[in-house]
Amino acid sequence: MNEDQKLIVPETSLLKYKNPVRVSRKSTKSDDKDLGSFDPRKLCEMQSTESILASIMPPRRLEIKGDLFIQEVSSTPASRAEVVQLTKQLNQQLEARGAKMTGICPVRRELFSQVFDELIRQLTIHCAERGLLLLRVRNEVQTTISALQSIYASGVVFGLQKSLAREADRNHQTSRVAELGAEIANLEKRIKTEVLNCKALEEKEANRLAAATRRAEEDVNFLRKGHEQLKNQLKDVLNQFKIVNE
């Protein structure tokens, strides 16, 4: 932690701490170095309950008006009344902070994590081995939750990608439908135009055929009249020829 960095801690915690103690920054740096090189497998070798508590639950730091304070976890055993009070405080915090009673809720998880740490503290004071075993349980639960969060995050990303892909495909299909609609409208317009042209052509051809038929009939009538005239003339000539021969 940088010297100028302030550690933000909750004003109230369900984990019981001692009174804050002002310390120098040099001693804090050395404590950080010792804690950073600590091996959890050596917990059982410690004789002092306070040293075990300090190792599994490091003290929190507060900076007040430029002075640095350290607040260690309390090593005082909890009475039955304090356990009852812890339950009341938990319920009050859940209600005050608007924690959800069902589903995923970071506030509820934070408060129950504090209660879990307090139970570990109480058990460690009475029996270090029980406390360490419960600590392993807590760490395993946290590991499982972290893994589930990672899976959930991956699922959310995958779902978002699928949603974006579906949205892109839907937009493409919508655009394609609009294009096809415009093409259909254009084809319908062309069909109407061709139908009108076809009707006009049929009417034109019908008129032309009617005119040709009339002309043909007139020609036939003219030829028929000419034929009758020639036939009559031929009869007259033949009649005159007979008269002359007689």
Dump pLDDT digits (tens) for 155-181.
Answer: 999 999 999 999 999 999 999 999 999
Q: What is the pTM of this model?
A: 0.56
Q: How big is the CA angle at 214 (ends 209 and 219), to the nearest 5 degrees?
A: 125
| Residues 49/127, Cβ–Cβ less than 8 Å | no
pLDDT cut 90: percent of the chain above it: 37
* Residue recorded with tokens 């699922």: 155
With 70 as the cut, is the pLDDT of residue 114 above it? yes
Query: What rounded mean pLDDT belongs to the chain?
Result: 83
Ranges of each domain in the chain: 48-160
Query: What is the predicted pLDDT for the residue at 127?
Result: 87
- Kindly list the distances between the CA atom of residue 69 and the CA atoms of 3, 22, 72, 73, 181, in Å, as whole numbers in the listed order: 13, 4, 10, 13, 74
State the DSSP code for 102.
S
| Residues 70/23, Cβ–Cβ less than 8 Å | yes
Residues 6+ apart with CB under 8 A from 3: 25
The H-assigned helical ranges of 13-66 are: 25-36, 49-56
